[in-house]
C-alpha cells in the first residue's frame, strides 16, 4: 500500500505520468469536462471531498511550477483565492477569464471533479521538474 497521502489510483496514476509542463485541473462539482479529456470524478456528495482536501493531497506528489485560475475568483470567492495563494508562496498566479479557463482545460491531462460547491473553486496545475 502507498505511503503517501494520495491514495486514489486514477489520480495517482495521472500525476505519475505527468512530465514537465503537463497540466492537471482540479475543479468544483460544476466545472464542465471537455470531451476527450480524462475525468477523475471524486465527488461523493455536496462538499465531499472538498476542493482544498483534493488539492492538498495532489500537492504531496506533484511539483507545480505554474497555476492558472479564473480571474473572477478574487471577487466571487475571495476565501478560496486566499487559500490557494497560501499554498503557492512565491509562485506567479496566472489569471484568465473563466471562459478562457474552461477552454484551457481542453489541454489538461485530466480534470478532477471534487464535491466542492463554491463558485470558481478551480485551478490548473502545471507540472514542474524536481531537479
Asked if 20 is an active-site residue, the reply is: yes
Place of cell 479557463: 101
Going by the annotation, the residues of the binding site for substrate are 28, 98, 120-122
In this structure, what is the dihedral angle of CA atoms 91, 41, 49, 98, given to the nearest 10 degrees? 50
Going by the annotation, the residues of the binding site are 28, 98, 120-122
Sheet strands (E) in 18-87: 23-27, 38-41, 64-70
Cell numbers standing for residue 74: 478574487
Say which of 7, 9, 20, 60 is annotated catalytic: 20
Active site residues: 20
Amino acid at each position: 500500500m502507498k505511503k503517501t497521502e494520495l491514495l486514489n489510483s486514477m489520480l495517482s496514476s495521472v500525476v505519475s505520468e505527468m512530465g514537465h509542463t503537463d497540466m492537471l485541473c482540479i475543479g468544483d462539482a460544476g466545472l464542465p469536462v471537455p470531451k476527450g479529456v480524462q475525468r477523475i470524478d471524486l465527488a461523493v456528495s455536496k462538499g465531499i471531498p472538498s476542493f482544498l482536501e483534493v488539492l492538498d493531497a495532489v500537492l504531496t506528489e506533484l511539483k507545480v511550477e505554474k497555476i492558472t485560475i479564473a480571474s473572477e475568483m478574487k471577487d466571487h470567492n475571495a476565501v478560496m483565492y486566499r487559500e490557494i495563494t497560501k499554498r503557492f508562496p512565491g509562485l506567479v498566479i496566472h489569471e484568465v477569464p473563466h471562459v478562457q479557463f474552461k477552454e484551457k482545460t481542453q489541454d489538461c491531462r485530466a480534470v478532477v471533479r471534487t464535491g466542492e460547491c463554491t463558485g470558481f473553486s478551480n485551478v490548473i496545475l502545471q507540472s514542474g521538474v524536481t531537479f
